[in-house]
Structure 1
Amino acid sequence: MHRYAAALLPLCLPAGAVSAGAGVISAPAAVTVTRAAAMAAITGDAAYFTGKVDVDARFLRLAPARVGGATVTFAPGARTTWHTHPLGQTLVVTQGRGWVQHWQGPLQALAAGDVA
């Protein structure tokens, strides 16, 4: 079982900053809450992973958003297939050990707490 922690960061804007004026942030229509029970992990797609991999895609947003993220749990021996991330990727190792490698670059060990 994995334990997760979440932080809620309130958005504080000066009075009058929330409007439709040019150069001013507009307030969203509503806050969307997705309950944990509705976000079950899925098995990693064989096109991207080998071995048993579970993907918890908790941070995906619809276009035009360009940000997303998931918690990916690899069984021993499982790995990703070679692929690219044209805008970059950040890996945060929350537990266990693994390896990371840039195309034709050196193999680098990762352990819990490391960020690549």
Structure 2
Amino acid sequence: MTALIKFHASQVVFLEHEHSRLYAEVVQFVESRQLCWVRPIALVTDPEQRWTDYQYWMIQDLRDGSDLMCPARLFHEALDTEVLPLLDRLYQLQDSKPQSSDLHQFIHEIWQAHPEAFQ
């Protein structure tokens, strides 16, 4: 039996796949179905996977993108030490336009890597 996961509204979480992380804010956690309704913040790529060295991050601003519903077990809690540098970098980006195709590709890769989570 797997442990039940519990997130709360406004919490920042991330989905990780290979060299990328999708950071998002929890809008609502559906405990009975173990689903998270999240609002994407940014898609972050770090080819070296040095997640603590944010100067190497490649960031795509997704704050104006679509909300998502995904299984809670795929999410991880984001630490303040990750989120604060990310938000700082986001506010420094100029004329950042959301790349919805990159978000869709990332979600497709998550779906392919974890098909059992979506059943």
* TM-score, structure 2 normalization: 0.27
**Larger proportion of helix:** 2
* TM-score, structure 1 normalization: 0.28
**Larger proportion of strand:** 2
Decide which structure has the larger Cα Rg and report it.
1
